[in-house]
Amino acid sequence: MSPNGPASLRDRARDLGPYLATRIGGDASVSHVSLASEGMSATTLLLDLVDGRRIVLRGRGAVKTSAYDAEPDQVQFHVLRAVEQTRVPAPPALFYESDPDVLGVPFLATGRLPGSAVVPWSREGRAFLIEVGGGPAGDQLLDILVAIHSVPVDHADLAQVFGPPPESVGVAVTRLRETIEKNAVGPEPILTDALGWLAANLPECPVPALVHGDFRAGNLLFVGDRISGILDWEFAHLGDPTRDLAWLMAKSNRISDDLACDMIPTAQVLERYRKAGGRDIDPAAVAFWDVFMLVETVGIWLGSTAMWRAGELHDVRVARWTYTLPTLRLMVLDALEEATR
């Protein structure tokens, strides 16, 4: 059993009662621990305490997703603190523990929100999203996104992890190119074309906003037909809010032909976002970010598979990525062709 694997983290979490009492007070003895998810960037544990409190521990995984110097979960901690006084239904941040000796890895502790997530790619999940998207959840989706983009960017917690000024889009494209060139095992003509197009079509973003970075159906919690929570803030940053809208509308995040995240008509997203209080969005910027984020996903996968080949990662899912990269490259090509029509 890996010392930092999910089973080991779950076992160690059972004995965290005395430690948790020093951080959150009260009788923090742990009555039950369950594994909520085992992602590449984090393992998530659900803890029930004897006094009835329910908390979530997110332990750092092997793949780093944040471009900032701070650890991804440290970034999430400060972002969650920044949004906790807003109408964004995000988990309440409790603390961030940087010492790996406590649990086995650094981790973030948050309160647990009500509700459950759905699997967007399952038949049941898709049917559920289509149904609730036509009701209150469809309106909530863009109301929440506007609320995220309205968080003051000068909030002390955001300044602590992001610092001024936000990274320019041009720098982000250059960094992405460097990542791909570093980890590619051969010529990448599709990615080369895409990176050239991105560099030549940088969108303007005169007023940066807080960007969630992975705003999609798989990161939503639901209670009945309403959204009760927004999860996974590891890609959060200050930048162009169009990025969130592009990801919401991306073909890679839906099965249906015309419903963004299988919830609301794609053709209505920008107008409904504006009516919810958001800024006017240039469709050309949406196309830019659609291509950018697909190329960025390829960059993350190339980096992870390079670590797998070097023996630094042993997760079989990374090995699988090696064989699905061609499909992802074709998705980049499709998005690039659509953007240049």
Alpha-carbon dihedral 271, 276, 282, 287, rounded to 10 degrees: -80
Q: Does the structure show a pLDDT above 70 at 91?
A: yes
Does residue 318 carry a pLDDT above 50?
yes
Contacts of 260 (CB under 8 A, 6+ apart): 248, 249, 253, 254, 266, 269
How much is the pLDDT for 1?
A: 47
For the chain, percent of residues with pLDDT exceeding 90:
75
Structural tokens at position 208: 């940066």
Specify the domain boundaries for CATH 3.30.200.20 within the chain: 6-111
∠329-330-335 over CA atoms, to 5°? 100
Output the six-digit token pair for 322: 């090696």
Amino acid at 108: L
Is residue 234 a contact partner of residue 65, using CB atoms and an 8 Å limit?
yes
For residues 89 and 144, the answer to whether their CB atoms sit within 8 Å is: yes
Q: Residue 331 above 70 pLDDT? A: yes
CA distance 82 to 86: 8
The pLDDT assigned to 252 comes to 87
Q: Which of 280, 101, 303 is nearest to 205 (CA)?
A: 280
pLDDT at 62: 56
User: Pick from 330, 329, 333, 39: which is nearest to 185 by CA?
Assistant: 329
Q: Supply the pTM of this predicted model.
A: 0.92
**DSSP per position, 264-294:** EEGGGHHHHHHHTTPPP--HHHHHHHHHHHH
| Tens-place pLDDT, residues 195-245 | 999 999 999 988 999 999 999 999 999 999 999 999 999 899 999 999 999
Whether the CA torsion 313, 299, 187, 331 is positive or negative: it is positive
Categorize the per-residue pLDDT at 61 as very low, low, confident or very high, splitting at 50, 70 and 90.
low
How far apart CA 186 and CA 205 sit, in angstroms, is: 34
For 122-154, what is each residue's pLDDT tens digit? 999 999 999 999 999 999 999 999 999 999 999
Q: How many CA atoms lie within 13 A of 7 on its CB side?
A: 3
Answer positive or negative: Cα dihedral of 80, 81, 87, 90. Answer: positive
pLDDT band at 104 (very low <50, low <70, confident <90, very high): very high
Specify whether the CB–CB gap between 293 and 246 falls below 8 A: yes
The mean per-residue pLDDT over the stretch 75-98 comes to 96
Please state, in angstroms and rounded to a whole number, the distance separating the CA atoms of residues 78 and 95.
Answer: 9
CATH topology of domain 6-111: Phosphorylase Kinase; domain 1 (3.30.200)
- Cα–Cα distance measured from residue 143 to residue 236, given in angstroms and rounded to the nearest whole number: 18
Average pLDDT score over residue span 18-40:
90
CA distance 113 to 230: 9
Q: Sorting pLDDT into bands at 50, 70 and 90, what band is 89?
A: very high
User: What is the SS3 assignment for 259?
Assistant: strand
Lookup: tokens for 79:
């972002």
Using only C-alpha atoms, the chain has a radius of gyration, in whole angstroms, of 20
**Average model confidence (pLDDT) for the chain?**
91
